[in-house]
């Protein structure tokens, strides 16, 4: 009788054992683009400087990857420069970011064009003689020495928005009117004829970091541009930058998605 009872007890316990062993481990979850960009943004060290707005970075990064995917950028460089023209000219609204090492190399002043506005940018143009800034994505070119000293050619990549930049001589250069002293004397930063002019003190450093095929994004919340720019609206290719692939594999475990790992 004792043997029968023991046998029945074993049979009753068997389903519990089988169910326990059948539990499947957590499966990888494919992360959406916004989560992927967010993970990159969180790695960038903004300690001690102005923080680049996440939404602006998101747009800059999408264009950066799409430009890489179409071989428009220097594969040996991983620099992304962002100018946020929605901010006051009196703020450090240019960020030069080393995307490979998640480090902001420089956060500094950048001027907009005389025809674009006073302290705040309001109007943009792709036309010669407008003295207005042009929004959109650029690829940096070679350097040359001009009336403002060492300067950097810029090639506009957004048709109808900045595609005439080279012909208009829209370049990056240093200028004495881009300084704290100028702000103190006039109440605002000086203005260019459309160029993203920077301080003469940091000009050599910025040009040296960004020259030769890196991405520059000049941002302003113009709805038409944001919804029609090829580089912003092209399907994002997360494999565009293989040397940075480990930073955005696009796959996380459930624990990472939930923030518990």
pLDDT digits 0-9 by tens, 31-70: 355 668 999 999 999 999 999 999 999 999 999 999 999 9
Each residue's pLDDT tens digit, 146-160: 999 999 999 999 999
- Residue 256: its pLDDT value, please? 27
Give the separation between CA 170 and CA 131, rounded to whole angstroms.
10
Q: What are phi and psi of 20, to 5 degrees?
A: -65, -40
Q: Among 172, 182, 200, 180, which Cα is nearest to 112's?
A: 172
- Residue 34: its pLDDT value, please? 61
**pTM, entire model:** 0.79
- Residue 30: its pLDDT value, please? 38
User: What value, to the nearest 5°, has the Cα angle with vertex 89 and ends 87 and 94?
Assistant: 70
Domains defined along the chain, listed by start: 26-258 (2.40.440.10)
Mean pLDDT of the chain: 84
Report helix, strand or coil for 195.
coil
pLDDT at 183 over 90: yes
């Amino acid at each position: 009788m004792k043997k029968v009872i023991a046998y029945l007890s074993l049979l009753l316990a068997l389903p519990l054992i089988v169910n326990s062993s059948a539990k499947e481990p957590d499966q990888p979850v494919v992360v959406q683009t916004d989560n992927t960009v967010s993970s990159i943004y969180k790695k960038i060290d903004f300690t001690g400087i102005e923080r680049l707005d996440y939404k602006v970075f998101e747009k800059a990064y999408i264009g950066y990857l799409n430009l890489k995917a179409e071989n428009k950028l220097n594969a040996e460089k991983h620099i992304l420069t962002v100018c946020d023209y929605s901010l006051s000219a009196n703020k450090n609204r240019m960020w030069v970011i080393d995307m490979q090492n998640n480090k902001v190399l420089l956060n500094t002043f950048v001027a907009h064009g005389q025809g674009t506005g006073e302290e705040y940018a309001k109007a943009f143009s792709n036309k010669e003689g407008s003295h207005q800034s042009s929004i959109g994505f650029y690829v940096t070119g070679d350097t040359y020495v001009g009336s403002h000293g060492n300067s950097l050619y810029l090639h506009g990549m957004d048709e109808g928005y900045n595609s005439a930049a080279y012909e208009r001589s829209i370049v990056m250069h240093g200028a004495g009117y881009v300084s704290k002293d100028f702000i103190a004397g006039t109440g605002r930063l000086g203005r260019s004829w459309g160029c993203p002019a920077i301080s003469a003190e940091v000009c050599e450093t910025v040009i040296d970091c960004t020259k030769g095929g890196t991405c520059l994004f000049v941002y302003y919340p113009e709805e038409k541009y944001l919804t029609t720019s090829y580089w912003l609206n092209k399907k994002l290719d997360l494999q565009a930058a293989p040397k940075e692939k480990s930073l955005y594999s696009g796959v996380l475990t459930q624990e990472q998605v939930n923030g518990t790992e």
